[in-house]
Amino acid sequence: MHSTIKSLLDIKNNIKVYLEKLNINNNPKILAVSKTFEINKILPLIDYGHIDFGENKVQEAVEKWTEIKKLNSKIKLHMIGKLQTNKVKFAVQIFDYIHSVDSEKIAKKISDEQIKIKKKIKVFLQVNIGDENQKSGISKGDVAKLSLFCKEIGLDVIGLMCIPPENTDPEIYFEEMNIINKSLGFAELSMGMSGDYLEAIRYNATYVRVGSKIFGSRT
- pLDDT, tens digit (0-9, with 9 covering 90-100), for 113-124: 999 999 999 999
pLDDT higher than 90, residue 199: yes
Average pLDDT, the chain: 95
**pTM of this prediction?**
0.95
pLDDT higher than 80, residue 134: no
Q: What is the pLDDT of residue 167?
A: 87
Stretch 155-182: mean pLDDT, rounded?
96
Stretch 212-219: mean pLDDT, rounded?
82
Q: What is the pLDDT of residue 91?
A: 98
Q: How confident is the model at residue 56 (pLDDT cuts 50, 70, 90)?
A: very high
Stretch 43-51: mean pLDDT, rounded?
96
**How many residues does the structure list for the chain?**
219
Percent of the chain with pLDDT over 70: 99
Q: How confident is the model at residue 218 (pLDDT cuts 50, 70, 90)?
A: low
The candidate with the shortest Cα–Cα distance to 101, out of 82, 116, 120, is 82
Can you tell me the distance from the alpha carbon of 185 to that of 75, in angstroms, rounded to the nearest whole number? 27
**121 near 150, Cβ under 8 Å?**
no
Q: Is the dihedral of CA 80, 83, 86, 89 positive or negative?
A: positive
All structural domains of the chain with their residue ranges: 3-215
Query: Which contiguous run of DSSP H or E holds residue 30?
Result: strand 29-33
CATH dotted code for 3-215: 3.20.20.10
Can you tell me the distance from the alpha carbon of 101 to that of 90, in angstroms, rounded to the nearest whole number? 15
pLDDT higher than 70, residue 168: yes
pLDDT higher than 70, residue 219: no
DSSP secondary structure letter of residue 73: T
Can you tell me the distance from the alpha carbon of 54 to that of 186, in angstroms, rounded to the nearest whole number? 21
Tell me, letter by letter, the H, E, C secondary structure of 156-213: EEEEEEECCCCCCCHHHHHHHHHHHHHHCCCCEEECCCCCCHHHHHHCCCCEEEECHH
